[in-house]
Chains A and B, each alone.
Chain A
Amino acid sequence: MDYFYDAQIRRYLLQFMRIFKEFKVSEGKRDGVTYYNRTPVRYADMSRMVAHILKKGSENMVNSTPFMACSIQSLLIARDRTQDPMLVDTVQVSEREYNTGTASYTGEQGNLYTTKKIMPVPYNLTLNVDVWTGNTDQKLQLLEQVLVLFNPSLQLQQNSNPMDWTQLFEVELTDIQWSSRSVPAGVDETIDVATLTFVLPIWINPPAQVKRQKIINTIHANVYNTDSINDMGFDDDIYDFFRTIDGQMELTSITPNNYWVDISGTEAVLYKTAPTSDGSTYDDGTTVKANWNDLLEILSPQGASGTLGNSSVNIDDIPLTSGSTLQLNVTDDLDSTGLITGSVVRNTIDSNKLVFTLDSDTLPSNTETALTKIVNPLQNYPGDGTLAAVSTGQRYLLTNEIVGDDWGISADKDDIVEYDGSKWFIQFDASSISIIKYVSNSYTGKQYKWDGKEWTSSHEGAYNPGFWKLNI
């Protein structure tokens, strides 16, 4: 096994000893003035070397009372608190973006991390606190201050990291040995030691796994969508019930950054703000482009310091290969698997953009015969010098209605007209079709979608968080 050590028992001890840090004892009044003394506390089991240093190598030095010493009495395995040893808890967090120039965090999203924690091992740590006092009055002063704190226990925190699921622990006073002295004292007058025994149910954690997130745009979390576990057949008598459930889960997708992507031609632009429902304006009135490197560098090799911002990271090393693809979900169904795919490569000029090359095989199947062209009939007509002379099979998508006699028919905007060898006729009457249709434009190679209201590119446009995926 490789080495690891997180000083966990040491941290428990430190926080435990902190309980006893500020107790004072009154030394009584001398000439009307009451003196108070702080009571030092330290670990009990010191080495002889340190003991000699404390005494300055001389038996003449005088030990001080009162004084408290903490020691470990035992560390027992807590089988009653043992839980599923194979449980791995996964938490995704993101840092705020760190500006190395100003050495401060910005308000933007920075690195994304996935932290996996495996079930820690429970133990019961029993600690003794020996209270050394020079007289009974001192002893009662100290114990009265200590004893009111444990009713019956005190909750402490061993570190402030929100990722640590064992940061809180309880300290319970379980036993008190009143005195180390016999009563009556006998021939020797020894210093009195009262021993308080505490039990701390603690957890010892194996190391966690912290990874910068590899799923770039989407996190899939399996959750049960139910109001009551009884709906799932929960029974107290079933051992490890939740493991017995098969994959009847609901898939929830989230995009950590809430970045969205806009596809325009061969450009895939990353944005930070999400568009509003009509897509015309944005939450804060603007659009803010995001840097693809924010996502791509997550998989980049780290510099010596392990930081992303390290200058030794070469932008060329960021793993965007010829096999990298961007997938687009053109449906309203987040779980749809019919994604439109295109290859992506780095845009060497603008880091907000990737060069997107559509794989036309992944487009939805056309429902209509391919178009010859898209035309504005108010400006052009067959044989006018811009459009070719009529020939059988020509199909035009109209961006305006046909007015006049150049076409020999009347048709509306968004209709598709076709020439049958003798005349033009309306092959696609937009006013009567309310279902989704797809058609390709032979002239540009682009595919268009009819949604019952208008023609739009079948894949160009804005993709909300969760509706796009980057595969490295």
Chain B
Amino acid sequence: MPRLSLWNKNKTNDYDFQDKIIAENINAGGTGVYVHKYIGTYTDDSANTSVGTGDLYIQDVLFLENRDRKYDTDIYELRGTYNVSEPEFDLTQFGLFMANNDLQMTFHMNTLASLLGRRLMSGDVLELPHLRDDLLLGGGDAVNRFFVVSDAGRPAEGYDARWWPHLWKVKLTNITDSPEYRDILGTGDQADDLRNILSTYKTEIAISDKVMEMAAEEMPYDSGYSEGGHLYVDVNSNKPGVHFTADGTPPNGATLVGSGTSFPVDASNGDYFLRTDFSPNRLFLKVNAVWQKISDDRRETWAAANRLLTTFINNDNTTTNTDGTTAPEKTSISKAVKPKAD
């Protein structure tokens, strides 16, 4: 009589029998899951930072992350099971999170392999239609809930009596509106992009813009501007409390005789002239033979940098080379005037 043993190094008919029952159990009792299959990344490797091919491709070997992910345009429908838990919102700076954010969902392993060609992997995005919410605050299109697989493995409960695994458990977390999922959510350029429906981005930008609008009401121009045009200026006085306009206009509503890069030769005493070749533009008053500086036009666009630094960062100028080619003036210092290929 052979030794009694449930273990067999070969998957036998027993394995197939149990596997079919387990598969049926999940197919019959599980919920529908749409799978957005990760199929690689957009391979712009001009920076030469990637290794591997296919599923094993790693986009950035320094930071070890695949950012510009590509998802299959076909959507696979699977069945999976998980324990539904009470939602509990956790408020962070980022917004509301689910305190019990992570779901552990179980799939039949061979079904995955036969449908997807592989098991679910980290980076695959799952869409749960049974969590579809068609009663959003404020109305709007109904939205499914999207998760990304963060971890995957064979669960303890997925082994049969003969020690063979049949199940594949994945750990799911909420996706974020980030470049990784741009293939699924869209860029938001199109009205029907999922990003416009599902993401808080547009609202966050609207809030951000409104805050900036309020800040601009307090300070419409860059630092150095003072709102003094409505004040009366005794131009012959240097007494304290006298404020000149900071907008390049003459004091007390007087009119400019003109503006330009050189003073007019036929100006009279008391004429105001704005020199536009000064940065910022500068207002002068003709006093006998002298053009006396009065004030500067400080109505410069607000920038989060000093004026000098702003000229380096907000620089859209181009330079033309001797061969007629053009190049942007703003160049990263590491790439400035690099040698060309012979």
Which A residues have a C-beta under 8 Å from some C-beta of B? 11, 14-15, 17-22, 27-31, 35, 37-38, 40-46, 48, 51-67, 69, 71, 91-97, 105-110, 130, 132, 134-138, 148-149, 151, 154-162, 167-168, 187-189, 191, 193, 254, 258
Cβ of B63 < 8 Å from any Cβ of A? yes
Which of A19, A60, A91 is in CB contact (< 8 Å) with B304?
A19
Point out the residues of chain A lying under 8 angstroms from B278, CB to CB: none
Cβ of B133 < 8 Å from any Cβ of A? yes
Cβ of B121 < 8 Å from any Cβ of A? no
Q: How far is the CA of A49 from the CA of B94 in the complex (A)?
A: 14
Contact A110 to B228, CB < 8 A, known contacts A57-B137, A91-B240, A148-B309: no
Q: How far is the CB of A234 from chain B (nearest CB, A)?
A: 21
Point out the residues of chain B lying under 8 angstroms from A62, CB to CB: 146, 174-177, 185, 198-200
Which of A38, A96, A151, A189 is in CB contact (< 8 Å) with B173?
A189
Interface flags, B17-51, vs A, CB<8A=1, else 0: 00000000000000000000000001010000000
Q: How far is the CB of A399 from chain B (nearest CB, A)?
A: 39
Contact A14 to B253, CB < 8 A, known contacts A48-B91, A62-B146: no
Q: How far is the CA of A106 from the CA of B231 in the complex (A)?
A: 11
Cβ of B271 < 8 Å from any Cβ of A? no
Point out the residues of chain B lying under 8 angstroms from A63, CB to CB: 94-95, 97, 174, 176-177, 199-200
Which of B42, B223, B305 is in CB contact (< 8 Å) with A149?
B305
Cβ of B252 < 8 Å from any Cβ of A? yes
Which of B182, B208, B219, B242 is in CB contact (< 8 Å) with A159?
B219
CB contacts under 8 Å to A, within B96-134, are 96-98, 102, 131-133
A-B pairs, 10 with minimum CB distance: A134-B178, A57-B137, A40-B204, A64-B177, A162-B226, A64-B201, A27-B179, A69-B93, A40-B208, A44-B93
Q: How far is the CA of A168 from the CA of B225 in the complex (A)?
A: 10
Given A60-B132, A135-B180, A157-B224, 11 more contacts at CB 8 Å?
Answer: A30-B68, A42-B207, A51-B96, A60-B143, A60-B144, A62-B176, A63-B97, A63-B174, A67-B94, A138-B67, A155-B223
Q: How far is the CB of B228 from chain A (nearest CB, A)?
A: 5
Point out the residues of chain B lying under 8 angstroms from A66, CB to CB: 178
- Could you tell me if B96 and A55 are in contact, using CB atoms closer than 8 angstroms? yes
Cβ of B338 < 8 Å from any Cβ of A? no
Cβ of B87 < 8 Å from any Cβ of A? yes
Cβ of B329 < 8 Å from any Cβ of A? no
Point out the residues of chain A lying under 8 angstroms from B65, CB to CB: 135-137
Point out the residues of chain B lying under 8 angstroms from A158, CB to CB: 218-219
Interface centre among A59, A62, A138 (most CB of B within 10 A): A62
- Could you tell me if B304 and A14 are in contact, using CB atoms closer than 8 angstroms? no
Which of B132, B135, B198, B207 is in CB contact (< 8 Å) with A61?
B198
Q: Show 24 A/B contacts (Cβ-Cβ < 8 Å), sorted by A.
A: A21-B208, A27-B179, A30-B182, A38-B208, A40-B204, A45-B93, A48-B89, A56-B138, A63-B200, A67-B94, A69-B94, A93-B241, A96-B232, A97-B232, A107-B254, A132-B93, A132-B94, A149-B309, A151-B309, A159-B219, A168-B223, A188-B102, A189-B173, A191-B176
